[in-house]
Structure 1
């Protein structure tokens, strides 16, 4: 519902009607405050006051959206809104949670471009290559599109028995990939969609094996992946704040744990919006980004380690209600981390904070208010 100050910008008639409905009570707030306007660029590409109010709503806990700690809007490659909650600033590193999955997918794409991996060949996991092991049919594409068929449980009841929690926090945290790769099939590879942080750790393990010629030395593995990410992705994009985490076996916690500041997460979103290009340099082939944005056959709302709005009219979709324009995609992390990208609007929106599942629905409605301000090309 629009507030009175939103109505004030809409039309004089709306304002009169809203005041009448209120019975002539307290004087209404007729627009954004000076502090709300101060975080908005002079020429943001839409009405500055309206953007200021909609952007401010992302920080208004009275909207039932949880706690926003940092947020940014970029339009046409320029920052048009940037704000931090008390206690946070431009130097604060925020944990990615599952936004890291999208970073891992880009790394895999670079290795495919290097000729080190093949998208539609069996995934090079040694334990799956034994005679008679049906997991040998799992391809890299299956893993990237979350349809490996492996028996992984992202959220269970009780939570501490789920594959994800055991892998990240409990008895399997020292060698996450070993645990993820040991699980049996529960479906034919390619047939069933199941979102899984364990699956992305398998992808990170594959990357480490390729980069180290299957070394089992944790420091060798960690250093190889860290150097590859830094030299091939983070440094070229100017993402100097990025700090990936690794488990005791030296495997990137590629589904859950990369830290970076707000501006660097926005840089990553812009890199995706520009189809893997940055300042004229193609860091990953455009075809790879096309693949990442191709719907997973069992789940049209998901691509290659990234969420799509191809089915966002469904309340169960993770981008609902952001359904227009088509082509919007997002890296999404636990507790309400979002990089929302709309190529048709030249728009990237980043929100970092802490929201439960119910609050995230309200939060996405507020993000959608910002999206709807901008025209399509």
Structure 2
């Protein structure tokens, strides 16, 4: 090797080493971020997790149908569907999995779990464990309602919103693609070091902006999310054990993302939520229950899609369809969805690669289970 080429190679390696060292000094979580990578869509996943104790058996029972009719199959395949379950009238009417997946597959919730955190926050407020919905939170100034409604005005992420079936939804895991950005720091280290710098912009306060930091702050206020979820929802609902991502071995749970659980367990949790708990274990006071499910909302209020208390609300009003009325849904990155229609005793759970048409999924699922 020529001396000049050797010197160039040495200088290049030294420069690269300085860059790498500088990057690690600026963002010491980088090695862990590279090792964990983007949150995997199914279990097992890399990183640190808390086990959510659940029931030992499966109380959901067997399903009546295990194949999709042509319209529903088309929606499912075009969106890279992996699981689709329909519960109605006290029975699991449909349970379908794409090849390679089964009822034992634990799917990543992504942002679905936000709605459970919202529900647990309402329960904690009702029990006096958190400030009232409209009481300022010490050190933040914003209220629990503003965090729950994504209207806190806290400036954190600046990525553009995306659209899923006409409904704005943050592609929250995508923001981790910037390894030096605030989302990467939150995702790998939690609120430590970030919370004191969080400021609510008066000009943005009261305006909807889907920010993961709102849910992270709620999780920090709640504490012990794994124990709360198990005691408040998962275990009494009859759901089996799950895994929820932690920021690190001894750090808090990432409240906004990454609960790995079976699709059937989401049906059980949704049934428990829709019924407001079970005999002797009321989940929420009636006013909070109505607000979370959206029963106090008008058709006009939800017609363009509404986010409130960490849950989405919309309406089915397409002319000529056999199913109509308001519905509540939880949604996660990639179009993971849990639909609740209490008036129809209807629950639909869907996992997949990309968002599946929001309203059409409910229309076609209803037609299939009703044989229309």
Normalised TM-score (structure 2): 0.67
Give yes or no for contact 2:154–2:205 (8 Å, CA) kept in 1: no
SS at match of 1:118: coil
SS at match of 1:200: helix
Shift of 1:313: 7.5
More strand by share: 2
Give yes or no for contact 1:153–1:164 (8 Å, CA) kept in 2: no
Give yes or no for contact 2:273–2:283 (8 Å, CA) kept in 1: no
Task: Provide, for residues 101-142 of structure 1, a one-character-per-residue CA deviation record: whole Å limited to 9, x for no partner.
Answer: 11101211221122111333445353x3xxxxxxx1x11111
- Cα distance in 2, alignment partners of residues 119 and 67 from structure 1: 42
Give yes or no for contact 2:340–2:348 (8 Å, CA) kept in 1: yes
Shift of 1:351: 0.5
Matching of residues 268-279 of structure 1 within 5 Å = 268-274=269-275, 276-278=276-278
Shift of 1:187: 3.6
Name 2:97's counterpart in structure 1.
84
2:213 to 195, 198, 201: 198
Provide structure 1 residue ranges, at least 5 long, that are not aligned to the other structure.
1-38, 43-47, 129-135, 209-223, 315-321
Change (3 A) 1:181 1:99: farther
Name 1:251's counterpart in structure 2.
252
Shift of 1:173: 2.8
Change (3 A) 1:181 1:229: farther
Q: Does 1:143 pair with 2:147?
A: yes
Paired residue total:
289
SS at match of 1:171: helix
Q: Does 1:242 pair with 2:242?
A: yes
Change (3 A) 1:255 1:154: farther
Name 2:48's counterpart in structure 1.
none
- Cα distance in 2, alignment partners of residues 306 and 116 from structure 1: 21
Task: Provide, for residues 3-37 of structure 1, a one-character-per-residue CA deviation record: whole Å limited to 9, x for no partner.
Answer: xxxxxxxxxxxxxxxxxxxxxxxxxxxxxxxxxxx
Give yes or no for contact 2:317–2:325 (8 Å, CA) kept in 1: no
Name 2:73's counterpart in structure 1.
56
Range with bigger deviation, 138-147 or 179-188: 179-188
Name 1:155's counterpart in structure 2.
159
Q: Does 1:287 pair with 2:287?
A: yes
SS at match of 2:310: coil
1:110 to 94, 110, 123: 123
Give yes or no for contact 1:164–1:198 (8 Å, CA) kept in 2: no
Give yes or no for contact 2:125–2:133 (8 Å, CA) kept in 1: no
Name 1:11's counterpart in structure 2.
none
Shift of 1:343: 1.5
- Cα distance in 2, alignment partners of residues 326 and 236 from structure 1: 29
Q: Does 1:369 pair with 2:364?
A: yes
- Cα distance in 1, alignment partners of residues 121 and 145 from structure 2: 11
Provide structure 2 residue ranges, at least 5 long, that are not aligned to the other structure.
1-61, 162-170
Shift of 1:189: 7.0
Give yes or no for contact 1:181–1:202 (8 Å, CA) kept in 2: no
Q: Does 1:307 pair with 2:308?
A: no
Give yes or no for contact 2:190–2:251 (8 Å, CA) kept in 1: no
- Cα distance in 1, alignment partners of residues 175 and 267 from structure 2: 33
Range with bigger deviation, 235-244 or 261-270: 235-244
SS at match of 1:328: strand
Change (3 A) 1:229 1:40: closer
SS at match of 2:326: coil
Task: Provide, for residues 124-175 of structure 1, a one-character-per-residue CA deviation record: whole Å limited to 9, x for no partner.
Answer: 353x3xxxxxxx1x1111110111111133634996589999455x334333
- Cα distance in 2, alignment partners of residues 244 and 88 from structure 1: 20
Name 1:340's counterpart in structure 2.
339
Q: Does 1:351 pair with 2:350?
A: yes
Give yes or no for contact 1:241–1:261 (8 Å, CA) kept in 2: no
Give yes or no for contact 1:75–1:346 (8 Å, CA) kept in 2: yes
